Chains A and B, each alone.
Chain A
Amino acid sequence: AQSVAQPEDQVNVAEGNPLTVKCTYSVSGNPYLFWYVQYPNRGLQFLLKYITGDNLVKGSYGFEAEFNKSQTSFHLKKPSALVSDSALYFCAVRGARLMNNNAGNMLTFGGGTRLMVKP
């Protein structure tokens, strides 16, 4: 079984400050890890993913995420938050081993974290 935990329902940050949205996961074997963002009245948009290689992954809109195998975490970060970053953020995981069968593309999503950036 695989699972994702996003421990914070909401994160509040002042514009210009760094932001972190936390994600921890549980999966057998190596993980494929994803971050998605959802703006109001929109579908989820892919931000970035980790499959292998460098633990620091850079994505869209200046976001990055750091894979930490020992802590089974994949926290989303941005050095300087913008008001326009306010949205709902989802972390998702898939076990790499499972990528090779028919269910390979199925992701397990976390419950989401609402990011509020105040001017």
Chain B
Amino acid sequence: DAGVIQSPRHEVTEMGQEVTLRCKPISGHNSLFWYRQTMMRGLELLIYFNNNVPIDDSGMPEDRFSAKMPNASFSTLKIQPSEPRDSAVYFCASSSGGSSRGTQYFGPGTRLTVL
């Protein structure tokens, strides 16, 4: 299996620009998570989808952040407009039901730098 795929791996942009992060979950997984990791705040859950439906978006920092999951194999996290404080590593993770229920598998992350 390919694992969770994220793109791009690195993104450098200027303040005010739109940023789109992409994630392809493991095939057959029905839950998808977006996390943000910084030195100051550690690992934060931003939003969680189950069967393509957003279940909990209480971690989304503000209206500049939005996430979509148009189908079971693709999700995006968009920041518009971006700000320097959004600089972080963004992880996508997926999980499934069955015997492995609860175990999340993480992608390699996207390192975002907003100048």
Chain A residues packing against B (C-beta within 8 Å) = 32, 34, 36, 42-46, 49, 51, 90, 94, 99, 102-107, 109, 111-112
Nearest-neighbour CB distance to chain B for A3, whole angstroms, equals: 13
The interface bits of chain B over 74-113 (1 if a CB of A lies within 8 angstroms of the residue's CB, else 0) are 0000000000000000010101010001111111110000
A112 to B, closest residue via Cβ: B42
Residues of B within 8 A of A (CB): 4, 31, 33, 42-43, 45, 48, 50, 55-56, 91, 93, 95, 97, 101-109
Report chain B residues within 8 Å CB of A46.
Answer: 103-105
Are A103 and B48 interface neighbours, CB within 8 A?
A: yes
Tell me, in angstroms, the Cα distance from A43 to B35 when the chains sit together.
Answer: 11
CA distance A96 to B108 in the complex (A): 28
* Known A44-B106, A106-B33; contact A99-B45, beta-carbon cutoff 8 A: no
Complex Cα distance, B106 from A109, in Å, reads 13
Contact of B91 with A105 in the complex, beta carbons under 8 Å:
no
CB-based nearest B residue for A106: B48
A34 to B91, CA, bound (A): 18
A44 nearest in chain B by CB position: B106
Q: Which listed residue, B4, B91, B104, touches A107 by the CB 8 Å rule?
A: B104
Contact A99 B101 (CB under 8 A): yes
Chain A residue nearest to B95 (CB atoms) is A105
Interfacial chain B residues near A44, Cβ < 8 Å: 43, 91, 93, 104, 106
* B50 in contact with A103 (CB, 8 Å): yes
Complex contact A105–B104 (CB within 8 A): yes
In the assembled complex, the CB of A10 is this many whole angstroms from the nearest CB of chain B, namely 14
Assuming A32-B102, A43-B91, A112-B42, is B108 touching A102 (CB within 8 A)? no
- Say whether, besides A34-B103, A46-B105, A94-B102, A102 and B50 are in contact (CB < 8 Å): yes
A107–B45 CA distance with the chains assembled, in angstroms: 9
Chain B residue, CB-CB nearest to A108: B45
Contact A34 B102 (CB under 8 A): yes
B55-A102 in contact (CB<8A): yes
Hey, which chain B residues are within 8 Å of A32, CB to CB?
A: 102
* A-B CB contact pairs (8 Å), 13 listed: A34-B102, A34-B103, A43-B4, A43-B108, A44-B43, A44-B106, A46-B105, A49-B102, A94-B102, A106-B31, A106-B56, A109-B45, A112-B43
